[in-house]
A and B are shown apart, each in its own frame.
Chain A
């Protein structure tokens, strides 16, 4: 049963997913080219100095990429479900509705983990060509909140699309927007090092929001 759900979810999102991957590769490649150009036109030591002490984020183009991928995957996966209330059919499958909804979210989450890891590996390789590991560590610390924001947007997209009432949609949307904006507060690299565990726990707990929307969906469409 799970395998067939997985296949169905993959069919829904595959082109969007691959599109996100292509965009991601393009952005990582662009960061690589930009770095090469900056180092060609400046002395390497002044580039290091600028990155370390002026806190210049050479990877800032990556900032909204995880959020964007999370959003388009969420739309591709959940928007079709509310067209003609297709989700109603799924809820008749021989599987408990909560398990069904959680499987859908789990599949999307795993796919996001794969794409984000893949992009982070690319970004790490680009960084290590020019810089020592200390700069890579700070990059990973700094990029992590943006990645978590990607998951938040995906979970919220799931809860939003399955939700049937506009009032609730607006509530979740506004609160989530306020929450996601926190991940983009800029205070230089490494500034999220203390807060990221709690932010991650909150983000993960949001994966369950789809259940309430699913429950309301089922009740509302009976």
Chain B
């Protein structure tokens, strides 16, 4: 019998594991995918090898790459771009760590309150989350991003949008700024040389500007795992959880089992209540099934897998909201072609942003060529100049929105992958009941019925659509003012990178799965600590930091409620994840 079992070692699960291991609990962390313990021995920086969603080492599939990826049914033009393995999708994330917009929390009374999806607000005020934000920001740590050429070009455009620069963590109004990134600032020779011989730790520390955030971070060369520049959880929270005894006075090292796909959550009736008692997982290497029990179970498999596991376990769903309310920032992309070097494929992949509270956000998006081609070939507006699929929006960009393919794609990329600038559009999108995860009628795989992700890009609320159009215009204006001579807008089909709120917490028991402590409304001792627990899409800001802050709060709630502990965040001092005691304990 464990104290706590955490299902999933992605962006959120390791946060709960680390906090509770630091508090001295016996924590088991289960991860369906691989544990890449020595990235230099098994990774490359090549895009197909890393990012091919079917075959790459950063895919959603088993650790044995000779086996197919895991199936999701998507009954529309869309792509769920999730990553399995220790670190989860943070392995390929950009480390962007903005706080949420305040208008998406209970009690917000700002003059722009009608601009937000207040019907689906968080069940507590923004101010309550701030200490947890500060705790996570100090732990990862989150730091102001340094600039490269592409940021200089981005800011040249942003400075002409008539909005101020933001110099706080909290976003209060429309503004632009360098990203607050979970990436260590460059030190020593990092960012100042291309010579690999001079990019060894500790001569180089932090971000070396390699440009491979999307391929997983293993820089600088020979750095201890917890000193790699990007603070994906495999480099930050997981090492902390596994070494808690080394840096926390009462700490107890958590146990991590990779290749452990949880297929069932067990419950029993206790005093008339359904209570979680443990889980069964399938070992991906042997096919064997194992069961362990725990006092508390925390689900953190992501916004698609957590509802799937819930439904496959036959857990209660009395209001039908399990899997519903799936939000995705209705992402879109805009690309400008320049006649100058933009350094698009170099440096931390996203280091500059604009925020428009009530609308969403824009951020720079640096990419190497294959992913650049991928994002230009993704659209719900057909193929530019050929067909528009009933869409093909017109605006300040050149021509209609749509895929750039064939000769046009070759000409655009022939202009130079480092002579373009991408802007990612993060739409503040509304929670909608119809967007959801359910169980597919396709044949089940070895883990049970597979998830079916239903997300109709054409049936968004008027506010969501309006926000996206506003942002696409702002992004185009930024690019033009920065000097772009041609601007493409793609009108992406749903690219499911930022996914949230499919097991949402909420004020109303009628349209939420979790209460305000992130505990399930219908199964006691069962919590959710991934993006699916978020009440909404935060209004557009990237979700990982808020999920991690919320997971920290959830860990504290669990410790107080079930283990008689005391809170630690308000009065404690967080240990930074780069602490040398962790490095030593990892050896």
Q: Do A and B bind each other?
A: no
A contact set with B: CB distance below 8 Å: none
